[in-house]
Amino acid sequence: MNTSDLNTSQLAAVVYNDGPQLIIAGAGSGKTRVLTYKVAYLLEQGLPAGHILALTFTNKAAREMKSRICQLVGDDCARYLWMGTFHSIFARILRQEASLLGYTHDYTIYDTTDSRSVIKHIVKDFQLDDKVYKPNVVHARISMAKNNLQSPNLYAADKEYLMRDRFDKMSEMARIYAEYNRRLKAANAMDFDDILVNTHTLLQKFPEAAEKYQDLFQYVLVDEYQDTNRAQYMILKRLVEKNQRICVVGDDAQSIYSFRGADISNILNFQKDYPDAQVYKLEQNYRSTQTIVNAANSLIRHNKGQIRKEVFSELNIGERLLLATYMTDRDEAKAVAKHIHALAPRTYSYDDIAVMYRTNAQSRVIEDELRLLGIPYRIYGGTSFYQRKEIKDLVAYLRLVSNFDDNEAFLRVVNYPARGIGDTTVARLYEAARLNKCSLMRVAIAPDKMTSDLSAATQKKVMEFAQMIEHFAQEMMLKDAFVFAQDLMTQTGILREAKKDTTPEGIARYENIEEFLSGLHEFCDRRQQEGIDFTPITDFLAEISLLTDQDEHLDDQQARVTLLTIHAAKGLEFRANFIVGLEENLFPSAFCQSVREIEEERRLLYVAITRSMERCYLMNAKQRFRNGQTTFTTPSRFLKDIDRQFLLSQDGETRRPQPATPAFSIAHSSAHLTPTTGMKEKSKKKTIRSEWQKDDRVAHRVFGAGTVLDVYRENDNDKIDILFDQVGKKTLLVTYAKLERL
C-alpha cells in the first residue's frame, strides 16, 4: 500500500492501532481517505477482514469506503469485512441471535409506514382522538425514547416526558408505547429503533453473546462519531470492553443532528470514557480557500463545548465572504438570482453553485426568482415548493372551490383534515358520479338523490363537506385572494392541524403553509400596485399552475443550481455557495434558546460555510412575511462572531437591482410603492388637499411609525412621502396606504 498521498497527520492516524483512538477530522480534511487507508493498513498488518467492524451512517458511505479499500488491497482481501450502517450490521447480528430475545431468525423489520399503521390501529382501539394522537407524532416520541434506551416502564416513570405529554393532551403515550411494543413482539417484528435497542439488550443481558462478538470484532472503526445517539454509544462501549481497540472519527464542530437523537457529548467525552485514548487532529482543509477556512474558524471559536483545533488551508487566499443585507426576502432572492446569472454558465457550471437555507419554506421565493431568470435548479433531498404535499393539498382546496367539477381536487381534500369520509365512502361516491355522469362534488351536494349506498350518518358528513365548499365558493367572489385563502385555512382546520404536529417534519410543513400565504400576499400586493384593486383566487391558481407545470418537465441530465437545507448539505461541497436568511429567530431558529441549542445552530452555520470551495455569500433581509404578517428582523448574532477582516460588506438595500418593469421593484409588503427610482418624471408635482398634512405622525401596518413629508399629485396619482422611523423615506399611493394617525 502506497501512503505517499497522505500528509503527516493522516499517516500518523493511519498507523496507530494499539488502543483507543480519536481522530478529529476538520472540514475537508480527508476523513474518508484516512478511514480507507486505516482499514487497508490493518489488513496489510495481518488482521483478517472478518475481524474488522467498520460502521457508517449511510449505505453510500459504506459502499464508497469499501470500493476504495478494494482498490488498495484487492477484492479478495476486503471481501469479508463487516462494513455497513449501524442498522444493517446489527440486524445481521440479530438474525443469528434472535432466539435469545424471543424472536425467530426470520423476524420482520417494520419500516416507518408499518410502524405508523400499528400506532393508528392502537389509537383507534383505545378510542383516543386521532387528531391529538397523530401516528407520526406518537411514532417520533417512541423513537426518541428507544434511541435513549428508555423502555415503556422507564418512559412512564420519566417526569419530564409525563409533563410534556400532559401539556400536549397526550397522557396516554406511555400506554400506547407499551402496547406498540407488545404488538410488534407478537408479530415477530422489530422497527428500526428496535434493531439498536435489541442489540444493546443482547450484549447486556447475555454475557456469552457479548463475549462472542467482543472476540469477533478485534478492531472497531466508527465514522461520524459525533452523530451517534445513546443506544449506539452504549453498544460500542460494550463491544470494545474487552480489547479496547476502537477508532472513532468525527468532528464535534459538525454535530448538527440532535433533533434525531445525536449526542455531542459522546465525542466530547471520548477521552474520559477511554483514558488511554490517543487523539489525532486532521487540520489541513483541502476543499476551501484560506479566507473561507479562516472565517469559519473565527465563527466556531465562540462555542465553549468543543475540542479545540485550528483548521488551515494551503490553497489560494481567495475572496472575502460577501455579506449583504436587503430590504425584503424578495430582494434577497432577486440578488441571489442575479449573482448566479452573472456567475453561470460562463464562470461556473450551474452544478457548482448552491443556495442553502435554514428551513425548507425559504425555497419558495428563491425558486420564483430563479425561474424568472431562466436558471435551472434542483431541490436536493426534498421537493420543489409547489410539489410538497401540504401545498398540493391547499391548492386542491382552492381548485375545488373555484371549480366544482375538479374530481382530482375533490379526492385530495374530501377527508383532509380527517372528517370521517373514508375510502369506502369515496368509492361509492365515485361509482355514483360515474352512473350519473357528473362530478364527485355534484354527488356530494345531494348524496341522497344520487346514491342509496350511503348511511344517513355518512350522507350527513358528505353533505357538510359539500356545504362548506359551497360556502367558500360564495366567499371567493367577495374576498381578496389572500384574505380568502387565510380564512379557508382557518375554517377548515388546516392551520390548526398543522400547528399541532411539533415534530421537525411537522414544523417544516407548517412553515411551508405560512410561506404559501406569504406568496399569495405578495401576489395580491403586486396586482394592487399594477392598478388591479381586486385579485380573485383564480388568478393566483393560474400563475402557480404554470410554475408546477415547469416542475413536471425537468431534464435530469441538465446542470442545475442546488437548493437545499443546511442539514442536508453535510458531506457536500460547491464552488459558490449562497447562505440566505441569516436573521434572528430564523438562524438561529426561534425554537433554540439554551446555550447548548445555540451552539448547535452555530455549528450548523459552520457546516454551511465550510461547504464553500471558492465563494461564499452571507445574506439576510430586514423584513419577512411570517405568521400572517410582515415582520421586521435583525441580523443573526452569528454574523458578529465572524472576524470582519474576512467579510466584504455590501449594502444590498441602497443598491437594489433595477428591474426591467416597475412590477418587480416593489418591496415585499402590503405598502403600495411608486417605482420612481431611476426614472424621469413626465410631469411636475402638484399640491393637493388631503386628510394628511406635512409633519403628521402616522403608522403603517408594515413600515411602522413615521412623519409625513409631503402629499401631492404626480402622473395622475395621489402620493404621500413619509419618513419612517425604522426604514427611512417611502413614497406610497394615498389610496392604498391605509395609514393610522398617531
Contact assessment for residue 657 and residue 338, using Cβ atoms and an 8 Å cutoff: yes
Pairing assessment for the beta strands 321-328 and 612-626 based on DSSP bridges: parallel
How many CB atoms within 10 Å of residue 30? Answer: 21
Pairing assessment for the beta strands 686-687 and 697-700 based on DSSP bridges: unpaired
Contact assessment for residue 401 and residue 476, using Cβ atoms and an 8 Å cutoff: yes
Strand partners, 321: 647
**Nearest Cα residue to 650 out of 693, 683, 619, 623:** 619
One of 193, 223, 514, 515 is an active-site residue; which one? 223
- Residues 6 or more apart in contact with residue 420 via CB below 8 angstroms: 461
Does 687 participate in catalysis according to the annotation?
no
Contact assessment for residue 346 and residue 352, using Cβ atoms and an 8 Å cutoff: no
Grid coordinates of 641: 462572531
Taking the C-alpha atoms of residue 302 and residue 304, their distance in angstroms, rounded to an integer, is 6
Taking the C-alpha atoms of residue 391 and residue 393, their distance in angstroms, rounded to an integer, is 5
**Nearest Cα residue to 64 out of 223, 196, 217:** 223
Counting Cβ atoms within 10 Å, is residue 353 exposed (0-12), middle (13-18) or buried (19+)? buried
Instruction: Verify cis geometry, omega within 30 degrees of 0, for the bond prior to 417.
Output: yes
**8-state DSSP, 385:** G
One of 150, 199, 228, 254 is an active-site residue; which one? 254
Instruction: Verify cis geometry, omega within 30 degrees of 0, for the bond prior to 345.
Output: yes
Does 224 participate in catalysis according to the annotation?
yes
Taking the C-alpha atoms of residue 303 and residue 644, their distance in angstroms, rounded to an integer, is 18
- The position carrying cell 457479548 is 210
Taking the C-alpha atoms of residue 116 and residue 123, their distance in angstroms, rounded to an integer, is 10
Cα separations (Å) of 416 from 115, 409, 411, 492? 22, 11, 9, 9
Does 611 participate in catalysis according to the annotation?
yes
Contact assessment for residue 351 and residue 573, using Cβ atoms and an 8 Å cutoff: no
Taking the C-alpha atoms of residue 119 and residue 497, their distance in angstroms, rounded to an integer, is 18
**Nearest Cα residue to 354 out of 571, 505, 544:** 571
Pairing assessment for the beta strands 704-714 and 717-724 based on DSSP bridges: antiparallel
Pairing assessment for the beta strands 108-110 and 189-191 based on DSSP bridges: parallel
Taking the C-alpha atoms of residue 471 and residue 214, their distance in angstroms, rounded to an integer, is 69
Taking the C-alpha atoms of residue 476 and residue 398, their distance in angstroms, rounded to an integer, is 9
One of 97, 179, 193, 224 is an active-site residue; which one? 224
Taking the C-alpha atoms of residue 712 and residue 616, their distance in angstroms, rounded to an integer, is 45
Q: Write down the H helix ranges in 446-590.
A: 447-450, 456-476, 481-491, 494-500, 504-529, 537-551
Our measurement of the distance from residue 16's CA atom to the centroid of its chain's CA atoms, rounded to an integer in Å, reads 39
Grid coordinates of 694: 406635512
Grid coordinates of 40: 487497508
Contact assessment for residue 37 and residue 1, using Cβ atoms and an 8 Å cutoff: yes
How many CB atoms within 10 Å of residue 461? Answer: 20
One of 428, 611, 615, 656 is an active-site residue; which one? 611
- Residues 6 or more apart in contact with residue 135 via CB below 8 angstroms: 116, 117, 119, 120, 123
3-state secondary structure of 107: coil
Contact assessment for residue 619 and residue 579, using Cβ atoms and an 8 Å cutoff: yes
- Residues 6 or more apart in contact with residue 342 via CB below 8 angstroms: none
Our measurement of the distance from residue 117's CA atom to the centroid of its chain's CA atoms, rounded to an integer in Å, reads 25
Amino acid identity, position 319: E
One of 21, 31, 230, 329 is an active-site residue; which one? 31
Counting Cβ atoms within 10 Å, is residue 181 exposed (0-12), middle (13-18) or buried (19+)? middle
Q: Active-site residue numbers?
A: 31-32, 223-224, 254, 611
